[in-house]
Structure 1
Amino acid sequence: MKIMLITAGSRGDVEPFAAFARGAQAAGHKVRLALPDNSGVDLSGLDAISLGADFSAMIADQGVSPLTAMRSFRSTVKPVMRAVIVNSARAARDFAPDVLMYHPKIVSAPLVADHLGIPHIVVEAVPVTAPTRAFAAPGTTTASLGGAVNRLTYQAMGAAAGMFREELSEAAALLGASATSASAPAATMVTVSPQLLARPDDWPESVHLTGPWTAPATERALDTALAEFIAEPFVYAGFGSMAAGNAAARGRAIIEAARARSIRTLIVTGWGGIEVTEDLLGADIFVTDSAPHAQVMPQATAAIHHGGAGTVHTAARAGTTSIVVPFIADQPFWGKHLHRAGLAPKPIPYRRVSANTIGTALDAVPVYASANRALAERMADENGITVALEVVESTWRPRAQ
């Protein structure tokens, strides 16, 4: 089977697709992955092509503020999304796949699949396109608004697609298609562990909670200094691609809170979410721009992070207690969900980060330790890629000769 994978966004939006591509290749399928530039994800051994869009540059330019995004919609956001929408159509047309799998940002994917006469499957790291009465659409509110109103919040994705009508028309013209409306997906795959989020009873059978998509664990050689640092107890702190507010003040707050408790800290600066000024450096602090989560998380006593779905799952699989500092999108959802589930302290909005709020959360970590160890044991045998491949293979039907 020829499988086309298309994703957009930051590293957390790319990594699961790369992991699935490797799993599908190992299962004998021909796979092509179209993705944005400079994601930071290892693409070795993959048939990967560029969408000509750089989300890292966009975030560096405007941060993660929704207000800034609205102000720069025409000058910054729209050109990036035009590249994603139009080049996705071109990539799929040229590859001629049997199945198209895509991130919800790829709003042109359904019309492309219909034009090619193939099934399409939407893949989401958090359920934003599958309406349910159980909870409001992540990214809208963390409050439960009541069953019927909760379902209404899922209309936001449809409204977002409407912002790019011109780009969808351009994609349709590229394909020679006559319309920009399209069919519903043959399946929806949510790459979330059922141990973390119970499957809502009102989801249709076409919505699958697969579990996370992670590549097989490989113990790559760590930097010697990093390996030595994590050999003793420490707390991880990193906010991935988030860049907003005062990164230096966040770094100072985390270090001061940890030092007051004689806790060593691994700081991962990522795309600029944390900055450590020179006066804070010391033997109890290790600063790096990136670190392999799967290798460092199991050694950490706690992980201070933004609450992206990928990081939430990595910490959970490691049995490490999360301290969630949400910025945008689904992050407040995960922060509140972990707290409600008895797995983490209350989330700390990024504007409220201080030595006091971080310190209070660090003091609470032992309360959640046993629950997280038990969760890790339940998640140990999950294989989201295997489940997803079964869905794809059951969805696809060979074309008539």
Structure 2
Amino acid sequence: MKDGSRLSSPPVYRLINAQEAINSSAQATDNGRVDINLESRLCKTLSLLVAPYSETDAKPAAQAASEIPPPPPYTEAGPQSIRLNIVIQVVGSRGDVQPFVALGMELQRHGHRVRLATHDTFGNFVSASGLEFFPVGGDPAELMAYMVKNPGLVPSMKSLRAGDIQKKRKMVAEMLGGFWRSCVEPDPATQRPFVAEAIIANPPSFAHVHCAQALGVPLHLMFTMPWTSTRSFCHPLANLKASGESGISQEVANYVSYMTVEWLTWQGLGDIINDWRETLDLEPVPFSEGPSLAETLKVPFTYCWSPALIPKPNDWPAHIDVCGFFFRDTPNFTPDPELAKFLEAGPPPTYIGFGSIVIDDPEALTATLVEAVKSTGVRAIISRGWSNLGRNRVSDENIFYLGDCPHEWLFQRVSVVIHHGGAGTTACGLLNGRPTVVVPWFGDQPFWGDMIAAAGAGPSPIPQKQLNATKLAAAIRFCLTQQASAASERMAAEMRSEAGVRRAVASFHTNLPLEKMRCDVLPHLAASWSLKTNDRKMVKISKEAAQVLVAESKVKWSDLKQYESKPTHIELRRWDPITATASSLAVTGAGMVTSAADIVVKPIQAFSRSSSHAHDSRKKDSRASHRSPSPDSNNNDNIYGKPAALDLSQIAAHSDKQPPPPTNRAVVVEALRGSASGIGGFFKHWTKGMYVDMPLAVSEGLRNAPRLYGGAVYDPGAVTDWKTGGAAAGKNFAHGLVEGFGGLVTGPVQGAKRGGGALGAAKGAGVGLLNLGAKMTSGVLGLTAYTAQGLYMSARAAMHGETRRLVREARRGEGEYASMVGQAKGVVVERKGVVEAFDELLRGEGVLK
């Protein structure tokens, strides 16, 4: 994240309360979108962070189908093609999961081992496609119902009043843990060990960048809707509102909409994510860095929509691609006799379905659909979906109520498609050249409806709250025109030439740091370990090769260090010494206040839990005594050991599996521990803030200060341990001396060139003096600050090593498994060949990267 030459100009100095600023600038609506007030203080401040567009930072977008390069040719993976363990992490409905099934199948054709981690309910769907499945929890039906009213899981006021926000936050916490386990745990079905060597994810899975950081592996994001800031169009979840007096241009407003939605999302989930990061031994992500973290880290991104529908914006850099929709092969499907008979009985029908949308009143919606169909005189197929439309109705000669059926098969046999605007359903309809009506419920669905209308392949979308039989009938009539049919066919012809899945796989491979990933002994496998040779060279070794070398006594496990092919460093950007110091003080103060409160709060919580447990136990004992049979009753629960009768009420009373009630001594101990942890936390935050964070903030702020007045800024590199801390301190001090004093000479010369004459030289001299003060002071302070930060990072790593130990054991376990079964991702590892290749490397005959 530290890239001094690429950071945009800092905003005008202004301290704002983040919570109040967000609340006044944006508000979640009840249709899963965000109303953004461009005249708010936050939006105006964020607009100052939008750097001027530079052509050098972007890759020109293909504006027409003829400019889109042909898809890469499909070839079987060669012997030197790297073969990875890839986990694909997805949150959403079946429409969100299905494109990644197609992606996973294509990745398998290239020799990769692919695991798809998503909601439990999609297990059979994923497994039937030949991919490994890993359940992560979360109910997609509940999630979709919630997201109808809460964009990006950011709660609206209605949801807060309803009290369901806490339940959904728990669901997110459950899924975060599930996604981490999907990276390191064996296959649930076969128990075959698995450790991820690369991660592909859709952004709402939220765990992706943090799992990648914990493992040190590459991450690639893929999504069906725009998620990267651009000046070309607004965020699909945002409604921009302004009276014309905001002073923000439309292009800047579009860009700010992405920043605001990200801030809202982090506000709603940042604490959950940081609590979970603590379980992975990762430091919390600062509030200022959580939003737009993927953009700051320049994580590769592939968008799976047709560039013929939405070309790649010009301000997206080269590591962001638009590849086309992801389509799987048309599945083998035999329709029920009733469906086949209906399709053959007349002209192609109109399809109506809303998939995973959870509808409040499905019967009323069904009545609206039936009325519109009858008024237009068309035949129709109404998909029941998750809301079970037409649950009390039976099919007739004009309307067929459909259960589950693959869209790829069905959309070839209909004339018009009417749906909610999910990206997958939209793509399938357009690919088959079917005019489309979108009835959006929430989120990005209005966006896709607008895109279809702009292409002429359908009418303007009909928001679900405005849907009635008259409007729907008019939309159907529009879709039956020659104009709509021709536009749909043109779009289909362009999409068929795109090969989106193959392009996406090519994009994934292109963005991999392949030479850093390859094992030096077995180049077709990924390195998991590193070994320093006697001449200080580093050898990268895969799990499979390491197992062989240890078995052959060539190396010891203690010699091998965990290797990270793509380290992730999340650091706090500091614009200037004032804001840097204020931010550091705020963070330190918040930590101290929270810890001080824990001194009192935690003992109270301990006694409160004990009291509540005792009260519940008395209630249960009371109920049990009323249920106890009399001595004269005929029961089998007696001292002679006869089988006891099954008492369902007793089972129910103990089904919550609560631990035994704590003793008074245990409660006191827990209370004392809680109070002690609060005291310890108070002094920890104070010590770290005063001796590490504050000096580093001032040093970093002064280092970046020259950017305020056009000066250059040197980046001493990321601080990850005591070695890099010392190196950064030395580099910053040396550059402070050289550039500070050098600026006294070069400043006037450069000022004269830019400003002309003596006045420009005087300005340059002033800049040189400012640079000297800032850089020299930063260099001197940095000797202590960077060193202290490095020592802290090393000490923290030593005390929080459980995750690294877990990853180490998982990697060893997979290597042992591969050795035991004699295979490594489908390729036999020859022990003799591994030893010979390793010996060649040590003799210097191999090539070390």
Shorter chain as denominator, the TM-score bin is: over 0.9
Contact 1:64 1:244 in 2 (8 A): no
Q: Deviations over 1:264-286 (max 9, x none)?
A: 110101111733543x7422111
Q: Deviations over 1:165-196 (max 9, x none)?
A: 33323432332223446662530111101111
Alignment equivalent of 1:202, drawn from 315, 336, 346: 315
Residue 72 of structure 1 deviates from its aligned partner by 4.0
Structure 1 residues 63 and 168: CA distance shift in structure 2, 3 A: closer
Q: Which residue of 1 aligns with 2:234?
A: 136
Structure 1 residues 270 and 306: CA distance shift in structure 2, 3 A: same
Q: Which residue of 1 aligns with 2:127?
A: 43
Residue 262 of structure 1 deviates from its aligned partner by 2.0
CA distance in 1 between counterparts of 2:335 and 2:92 reads: 27
CA distance in 2 between counterparts of 1:386 and 1:49 reads: 24
Q: Which residue of 2 aligns with 1:64?
A: 148
Structure 1 residues 63 and 346: CA distance shift in structure 2, 3 A: same
Residue 142 of structure 1 deviates from its aligned partner by 8.2
Structure 1 residues 323 and 352: CA distance shift in structure 2, 3 A: same
SS of equivalent to 1:361: helix
CA distance in 1 between counterparts of 2:416 and 2:178 reads: 41
Residue 307 of structure 1 deviates from its aligned partner by 0.5
Alignment equivalent of 1:78, drawn from 144, 155, 169: 169
Q: Which residue of 1 aligns with 2:420?
A: 306
Residue 90 of structure 1 deviates from its aligned partner by 2.4
Contact 1:93 1:116 in 2 (8 A): no
Alignment equivalent of 2:208, drawn from 109, 134, 147: 109
SS of equivalent to 1:368: helix
**Structure with more of its chain in helix, by fraction:** 2
Q: Which residue of 2 aligns with 1:339?
A: 453
SS of equivalent to 1:38: helix
Q: State how 1:283-302 maps to structure 2 within 5 Å.
A: 283-302=397-416
Residue 97 of structure 1 deviates from its aligned partner by 1.6
Residue 12 of structure 1 deviates from its aligned partner by 1.4
CA distance in 2 between counterparts of 1:161 and 1:96 reads: 28
Structure 1 residues 35 and 84: CA distance shift in structure 2, 3 A: same
Contact 1:8 1:105 in 2 (8 A): yes
Q: Deviations over 1:181-240 (max 9, x none)?
A: 666253011110111111111111111111111212233212222122223320000001
CA distance in 2 between counterparts of 1:133 and 1:274 reads: 40
Q: Which residue of 2 aligns with 1:148?
A: 252
Q: Deviations over 1:44-94 (max 9, x none)?
A: 12111100211124446x583334544444332111111112221222243
SS of equivalent to 1:260: helix
Residue 159 of structure 1 deviates from its aligned partner by 3.0
Q: Which residue of 2 aligns with 1:33?
A: 116
Which one-letter code corresponds to 1:98 in the other structure?
E
Residue 7 of structure 1 deviates from its aligned partner by 0.6
Residue 120 of structure 1 deviates from its aligned partner by 0.9
Q: Which residue of 1 aligns with 2:443?
A: 329
Structure 1 residues 122 and 69: CA distance shift in structure 2, 3 A: farther
Is residue 163 of structure 1 aligned with residue 278 of structure 2? no
SS of equivalent to 1:186: coil
Contact 1:63 1:242 in 2 (8 A): no
Residue 11 of structure 1 deviates from its aligned partner by 0.9
The 10-residue stretch of structure 1 (174-183 or 197-206) with the greater mean CA deviation from structure 2:
174-183
Structure 1 residues 65 and 74: CA distance shift in structure 2, 3 A: closer
Contact 1:257 1:355 in 2 (8 A): yes
Is residue 351 of structure 1 aligned with residue 435 of structure 2? no
Which one-letter code corresponds to 2:232 in the other structure?
A
Q: Which residue of 2 aligns with 1:226?
A: 339
CA distance in 2 between counterparts of 1:69 and 1:257 reads: 33
SS of equivalent to 1:3: strand
Which one-letter code corresponds to 2:320 in the other structure?
V
CA distance in 1 between counterparts of 2:426 and 2:460 reads: 14
CA distance in 1 between counterparts of 2:450 and 2:391 reads: 28
Structure 1 residues 153 and 385: CA distance shift in structure 2, 3 A: same
Return the index of the structure with the highest Cα Rg: 2
SS of equivalent to 1:31: strand
Residue 382 of structure 1 deviates from its aligned partner by 2.3
Unaligned runs of 5+ residues in structure 2 are 1-83, 151-155, 186-193, 243-248, 518-526, 528-539, 542-849
Residue 17 of structure 1 deviates from its aligned partner by 1.4
Contact 2:366 2:390 in 1 (8 A): yes
TM-score, normalized by length of structure 1?
Answer: 0.93
CA distance in 1 between counterparts of 2:271 and 2:357 reads: 29
Contact 1:189 1:207 in 2 (8 A): yes
Contact 1:136 1:143 in 2 (8 A): no
Which one-letter code corresponds to 1:139 in the other structure?
L
Q: Which residue of 2 aligns with 1:96?
A: 195
Contact 1:11 1:41 in 2 (8 A): no
Contact 1:101 1:123 in 2 (8 A): yes
Is residue 122 of structure 1 aligned with residue 122 of structure 2? no
Which one-letter code corresponds to 1:340 in the other structure?
A
Contact 2:118 2:135 in 1 (8 A): yes
Contact 1:234 1:264 in 2 (8 A): yes
CA distance in 2 between counterparts of 1:41 and 1:352 reads: 34
Q: Deviations over 1:353-385 (max 9, x none)?
A: 211011111111113011101211111132222
Structure 1 residues 36 and 379: CA distance shift in structure 2, 3 A: same
Is residue 377 of structure 1 aligned with residue 504 of structure 2? no
Is residue 22 of structure 1 aligned with residue 105 of structure 2? yes
Contact 1:5 1:34 in 2 (8 A): yes
Q: Which residue of 1 aligns with 2:88?
A: 5
Residue 305 of structure 1 deviates from its aligned partner by 0.3
Contact 1:63 1:244 in 2 (8 A): no
CA distance in 2 between counterparts of 1:315 and 1:38 reads: 25
Residue 115 of structure 1 deviates from its aligned partner by 1.9
Q: How many residues of Structure 1 are paired with residues of Structure 2 in the alignment?
A: 398
Which one-letter code corresponds to 2:165 in the other structure?
R
SS of equivalent to 1:230: helix
Alignment equivalent of 1:252, drawn from 367, 371, 375: 367
Structure 1 residues 208 and 220: CA distance shift in structure 2, 3 A: same
Unaligned runs of 5+ residues in structure 1 are none
Contact 1:188 1:207 in 2 (8 A): yes
CA distance in 2 between counterparts of 1:330 and 1:143 reads: 18
- Cα RMSD for the two superposed structures: 2.2
Structure 1 residues 50 and 124: CA distance shift in structure 2, 3 A: same
Which one-letter code corresponds to 1:80 in the other structure?
M
Residue 141 of structure 1 deviates from its aligned partner by 2.8
Contact 2:173 2:276 in 1 (8 A): no
